[in-house]
Chains A and B, each alone.
Chain A
Amino acid sequence: MMHSAFTRSIRLGVKSLLLHKLRSLLTTLGILFGVSSVIAMLAIGEGASEEAQEQIRRLGSQNVILRSVKPLEDKVSGPSYSANAYGLTWQDFERASETFPWVENSIPVKNIVQEVRFEDKVINPRILATTWEYQNVTGRIVHRGRFISQADDDLVSNVCVIGYEVSRLLFPGLESIGQKIKIGPEYFKVVGVILPRVPLSDDLPEVDTSVTSEILIPLTTGRRWFGDMTIKIRSGSREMEQVELNEIVLSARSPSHVSYIAAASREMLARNHKQNDYEIVVPLELLARAEETKRIFNIVLGCIACISLLVGGIGIMNVMLATVTERTREIGIRRALGARRYHIMLQFLVETVVLSVGGGILGILLGVSIPAFVEYFADMRTIVTFSAPILAFGISVSIGLVFGLYPAWQAANLDPVEALRHE
C-alpha cells in the first residue's frame, strides 16, 4: 500500500515535470554540472596525487637521499680550464655511514656520463656506478638474470645490469643476458635486466622509463675506468667537473628514524660544505607534503563544488516557487478534495527531489566519463573512487530536499479558499 502510494507520487511528480520539459531540463543542468564537476575534479585530483605519491614511494620511503648539486656561481668570462670540483665527497659518505646510528645501509652512487654502444646503436642512458646493496634499498626488481653482486665489486668486474628500456632499445628481439655492450671505451657484459619497484605486469613494457633506461655497473669498476672527472665540451669551451659522489642513499632502520637521519645529514653537510652544492631529499617528508597538498586541494574543490551546487539548488528553488504560484488553483482543488497539508508538501517535495536526483544521475554519468576523456586525450591518470558518485548522489538528494522545502511548505500553507479563487 505504502509502496504504491510512493510510486504514484513519484509518477505524478515526473508527469508534471514533463509538462514543462525545457524548464525542467534547464533546472536540472545546474545540479548536473555541479555534480559532474565534483566527480571529475575529484577523479583528476586523486589521480594526480596518486601518481605523485607513487613517484615518491619509488624513491623509498625509508630512505634519505643526499645529492650533489652544481652550485650557482658567478659567471667568469672567458673559457675556464680549471676543474670545477663540487658535490658530495667520500668523506661525507664515511661520516654518514660510520657515525649515524640509525642507518641500516648507506650506498654511494656515482653518475657516469658516457655513450653506450651495441653494434651500430648508440644511446645515452643514465649510468650509475653503485654497490650490490643498491637493489635492497631502492627496491628494484630483477626481471631476468641477476643484480650486481658483492663479488663483482670486489673483483672490479666489467659487468652491468640494464633497465628494461635499454634492453628493448639495444637488443630488440634478442636475449640481452650475456651480450657485451660498450660503455665509453670499455666493454661490459650484461648480467641482468631490472624493473622499477612497482612492476605493472610480468612482461609489460609500459613501465616507468626514467628507471628502466638505467644502466648499473659496480662502483669499483666505475671508479677505475671513469674516475671523478667529467669533461663536457661545449661550443668553444671545455668544461670540466669533478664530482666524487653524485648520490648517497641512507636507509633508516625504521621509518621513525628517517627524520633523525635527515636532521643529522643537514647538520653534517652544512658544517663540511662551504658552498651550497648538495640537496637532501627525504621521500617521507615529500609524501607528507603531498598529502597536505592533496588535503588543501580537496578543501578548495569542496568549496567550489558547494558553490556550484548551491547555485543549482537556488535554481531549483526558484523554479519550484514559480511552479507553486502557477499551480495555486490545482492546490486549492486538491485541498477541497481532501488533501492534507502533508500531501501537498509531499507532492512538491517529490518533484524537487526528482529534479535534483535526475540531475544528479546525469551528472554522475557525465562526471564519470569526463575523467575517461581526460585520461585518453590529456594522458593524465585519473581515479574515480567508488565513494565520489555516492557522495554526489547524496548531495543532490539533499539539495532537492533542502531547497524544495520552502516552496513545498508555501504550497501546503495556502488557504484553500484563496487558492480556489486564484486564476
Chain B
Amino acid sequence: MELIAELRDVSRVYQMGDVTVRALDRISVPFGTGEYWAIMGPSGSGKSTLLNVLGCIDRPTGGSYFVEECNTSDLDDDDLSRLRGASIGFIFQSFNLIPQLSVLENIMVPLLYQDGSASDGLARAEALAERVGLADRILHRPSELSGGQQQRVAIARALINNPKIILADEATGNLDSQTASEILDIFSELNSEGKTILLVTHEESIGEQAQRVLCLKDGKVDLID
C-alpha cells in the first residue's frame, strides 16, 4: 500500500529545567493513503505532541517524519509552512476560527498563503460552504454560529486547498453527541472520497468508527490495529 505519511523512530523530547520529558519515544507508524486513523490514549500519553509533529507545526527531536515521501527534517520553516498549507487540513477542538472574519473569509484564509492564488477561490469557498450546509450563513461572523456550525466552517476551511491529509484534534470534544455524530459523518464521507483522516480522540466510541487505531501510552506505541 502506498504511504502518505510515515513516522520513523520519531522522538520528541522537551527539556524543562533539569527534567527531560520524552513526549514521544521512538515511534514508527506508517499511514497509508486514504486510511482513517483514530489516535487514542490517556491524557499525557503524547497525542497532542504527535499531532503537532504530524501537522508539521512541530519538529521531532529524533527520527524522521515523511510526508508524501518527503523528509520534513530537510525542509526549512518556509517549506514546512507551504507543506502545511498545501497538504494538511487542520481541524481543532475549539474550532479556531478568526472572529473578525466572516464565514466565507474564514474558509478562504488558507488561500492567502498559497503561491499563485487561485482565481476560483471564491467559487470553491462558496461550494464548500454549501457542502457543509452553511450556504445561507456565509456572511455571518463565527460568534453568530453554533458550535456545530463553527466546526463545519473549520472543516470547509481545512478542505479549501484540497489537502490529502485531514488532521482532527478532538474535533467533536466541544460538541453535543448529536452534532458530534454529524461531524463524524462528514469525516467518513471525506474518507470515502480518498482523504486520509487522522483523528485524535479519547472516546472509544469514536475510535471504533475508524478503520485503524493507534494507541499511545507514555509516549510509546501501545497498540497499532
Contact = CB atoms under 8 A, between A and B. Distances in A.
Interface stretch (B84-92, B131-139, B144-152): B84-92
11 contacts: A1-B117, A330-B98, A336-B90, A338-B113, A338-B114, A340-B77, A340-B113, A342-B78, A416-B57, A416-B58, A417-B57
A336 B116 contact: no
Interface string B83-113: 0111000101000111010000000011011
A327 B110 CA distance: 18
Question: How large, as a class, is the contact surface on chain B?
Answer: 20 to 34
A16 B52 CA distance: 28
B66 to A, nearest CB: 19
Nearest to A333: B96
A354 to B, nearest CB: 15
Contacts of B98: 330, 333-334
Contact of A338 (B58, B85, B97, B116): B85
Given A330-B98, A417-B52, A341 B57 contact: no
B140 interface: no
Q: Is the interface of A mostly helix, strand, loop or mixed?
A: helix
A420 B96 contact: yes
Interface of A: 1, 4-5, 8, 15-16, 19, 329-330, 332-343, 416-417, 420
B95 to A, nearest CB: 10
Contacts of B114: 338
Interface of B: 52, 55, 57-58, 77-78, 81-82, 84-86, 90, 92, 96-98, 100, 109-110, 112-114, 116-117, 157, 161
A341 B110 CA distance: 14
A16 B86 CA distance: 26
B109 A1 contact: no
B208 to A, nearest CB: 28
A15 B100 CA distance: 8
A285 B110 CA distance: 69
Nearest to B95: A333
Contacts of A416: 57-58
